[in-house]
Amino acid sequence: MSETETAMQLLKTIYKRLDPAKPVEPDSDFYQPIYGKDGREDPVARMRTHIQLNEIQSLQLFSGFRGSGKTTELFRLRRDLRQEGSLVIYASALDYLNPSDPVEISDLLMVFAGAFGDQLEQEFKISLGSESFWNRFTNYLKKTSLQVTEATAKVEADGPAKEVLGGLAGGLELKFAIKEASSFRKKLREFLQNRLPELKRQVDAFFEQGVKALRDKCGDRRIVFIFDQMEQLRGSLNNEREVMQSVERIFASHLDKLRLPFIHVICTVPPWLQFLLPGGTAIEILPSLQLWKKDVERSRCEAGWKVVRELVWRRLEDQGLNLIFGPEVQGRRILVDDLIAESGGHFRDLLRLFQEVIVRILTEKAGLPVPDKIVTGAIRRTREQYLPITEQDAAKLEEIQLSHASGLGSNSSDEIGRITRLLDLHLMLYFSNGEEWYDTHPLVRDEVEAVMRRVRSRSQAS
């Protein structure tokens, strides 16, 4: 293989290593330890301690903004708990709930039980009397003669499903219908609205049987149930407010129903819940990594820079860094630092920036080490994905970067929706180093200033 072919193959390998959508297991060579060092609090250690202190059962809420490494850190918690001897069951809400639709407590209770039972069977090869929760609940619905018109494993694209509930052959159909069949879900909610205590008893009984089966097979050990991806419930532009209100109802009015017998539950939630439930419910939130301090100059936070440089090295290694950016000069690679600075310490943006550099190298057939224009183009391209910024958003972002506060003026759905969207889109970042504070993403600061200059110029002219 020629030298050029070897270089191209290495670039392709590094590109795959930089996949921003793939969570990293804590034992992976790509995992970069971040929390619990250099004065940074460790949310995972805090959750593990809560579990240890609550010996029998507990409920904790965990959150993180998209791309903050939340699932990766949950994987670390799972590993640490297993090393201590706990039995850990992990499930994703996205396998059971539609993130674009409102959710009710009855949905979540059934999904908790169904997901728990699925994992017992798949991971531990435990079958509870050859009857999954889905089968049990299907039989319950049949016995109570619930009549619905949209529930089947086969929902046709050109029309509503044609079979009634009595035609359900088994639990898999019910599982599918809860996620995908909106008419069925609506009728089921109406039926369960006045039967929540009965549903809760059924769910608890199923979990108690599952706990007994686990301990019979694995010994008397602590059991932890991690339910991830609930923070992905955010709705669409058409029903964002409705979805937010549905999630708020669950955790404001029905939190106790999510406590499960003899099980330590960790449930991820949307980070905007902290604005709706101030002081009422403790939420462990994963902050962005801090590259600068909370001062006027935004002076560099060297501990954060050290972490990100190590993260970059884990993905590129010396061979990749030398190929793409050339050898170190006086202990620094200026172009690498330019990319780190523009990422704002946000892991997903960091990986996207380096991926874009590789795309440009291969597309433009640029020489190696890369010229400055390749890095400049990668930064410009990544910035474009955040644009345009509306005048209303620019005004709010300017307020946030001056005050370092959340910018939340009221608890109205519209106000919370705006702040949530700015955080979800990474236009503003959340930090915590003994106190919570916020700032704008480095990629958009110039654009925010440009938009506000135009607004003020127009105002003065009128």
Band of the pLDDT at 279, cuts 50, 70, 90? low
The span from the CA of 410 to the CA of 414, in Å, is 9
The span from the CA of 446 to the CA of 323, in Å, is 31
The average confidence (pLDDT) of the chain is 87
The 3-state secondary structure of the chain reads CCHHHHHHHHHHHHHHHCCCCCCCCCCCCCCCCCCCCCCCCCHHHHHHHHHHHCCCCEEEEEEECCCCCHHHHHHHHHHHHHHCCCEEEEEEHHHCCCCCCCCCHHHHHHHHHHHHHHHHHHHHCCCCCCCCHHHHHHHHHHHCCCCCCCCCCCCCCCCCCCCCHHHCCCHHHHHHHHHHCHHHHHHHHHHHCCCHHHHHHHHHHHHHHHHHHHHHHHCCCCEEEEEECHHHCCCCCCCHHHHHHHHHHHHHHCHHHHCCCCCEEEEECCCCHHHHCCCCCCEEEECCCCCECCCCCCCECHHHHHHHHHHHHHHHHHHHHHHHHCCCECCECHHHHHHHHHHCCCHHHHHHHHHHHHHHHHHHCCCCCCCHHHHHHHHHHHHHCCCCCCHHHHHHHHHHHHHCCCCCCCCCHHHHHHHHHHHHCCCEEEEECCCEEEEECHHHHHHHHHHHHHHHHHHHHC
Q: What is the pLDDT of residue 252?
A: 87
Query: What are the pLDDT digits (tens) for 196-234?
Result: 999 999 999 999 999 999 999 999 999 999 999 998 887
Is there a cis peptide before residue 369, judged by omega within 30 degrees of 0?
yes
pLDDT of 348 above 60: yes
Q: What is the pLDDT of residue 417?
A: 77
Token code pair at residue 5: 């072919």
Q: Mean pLDDT across the stretch 347-357? A: 95
Q: What is the pLDDT of residue 384?
A: 96
Region of poorest pLDDT, from 49-53, 122-126, 181-185, 223-227: 181-185
pLDDT of 167 above 70: no
Angle formed by the axes of helices 133-143 and 196-218, nearest 10°: 150
Q: Which of the two residues, 213 and 434, has the higher pLDDT score?
A: 213
pLDDT of 386 above 70: yes
What are the Cα distances from residue 253, in Å, to 38, 101, 249? 39, 19, 5
Q: What is the pLDDT of residue 236?
A: 73
Q: How many CA atoms lie within 13 A of 400 on its CB side?
A: 28
Q: Which of the two residues, 119 and 240, has the higher pLDDT score?
A: 119
pLDDT of 148 above 70: no
Q: Which of the two residues, 333 and 360, has the higher pLDDT score?
A: 360
pLDDT of 428 above 50: yes
Band of the pLDDT at 278, cuts 50, 70, 90? low
What percent of the chain is predicted at pLDDT more than 90? 61
pLDDT of 146 above 50: no
Q: Mean pLDDT across the stretch 18-25? A: 91
pLDDT of 160 above 50: no
Q: Mean pLDDT across the stretch 70-93? A: 96
Which of 128, 181, 133 shows the shortest CA–CA distance to 153?
Answer: 181
Q: Mean pLDDT across the stretch 165-177? A: 58
What percent of the chain is predicted at pLDDT more than 70? 91
pLDDT of 388 above 50: yes
pLDDT of 4 above 90: no
Q: What is the pLDDT of residue 158?
A: 30
Tokens 């086969």 belong to which residue? 154
> What residue type is 358 in one-letter code?
I
Q: Mean pLDDT across the stretch 241-265? A: 92
Q: Mean pLDDT across the stretch 227-243? A: 83
pLDDT of 50 above 50: yes
Q: Mean pLDDT across the stretch 419-430? A: 87
pTM of the model: 0.88
Most confident of 32-36, 88-92, 178-182: 88-92
Query: What are the pLDDT digits (tens) for 285-310?
Result: 988 889 999 999 999 999 999 999 99
Domains in the chain (CATH in brackets) are 3-20+292-384 (no CATH), 43-286 (no CATH), 391-461 (1.10.10)
pLDDT of 66 above 50: yes
The span from the CA of 289 to the CA of 426, in Å, is 13
pLDDT of 244 above 90: no
What are the Cα distances from residue 454, in Å, to 258, 441, 447, 461? 50, 20, 11, 10
Q: What is the pLDDT of residue 332?
A: 65
Q: Mean pLDDT across the stretch 433-455? A: 93
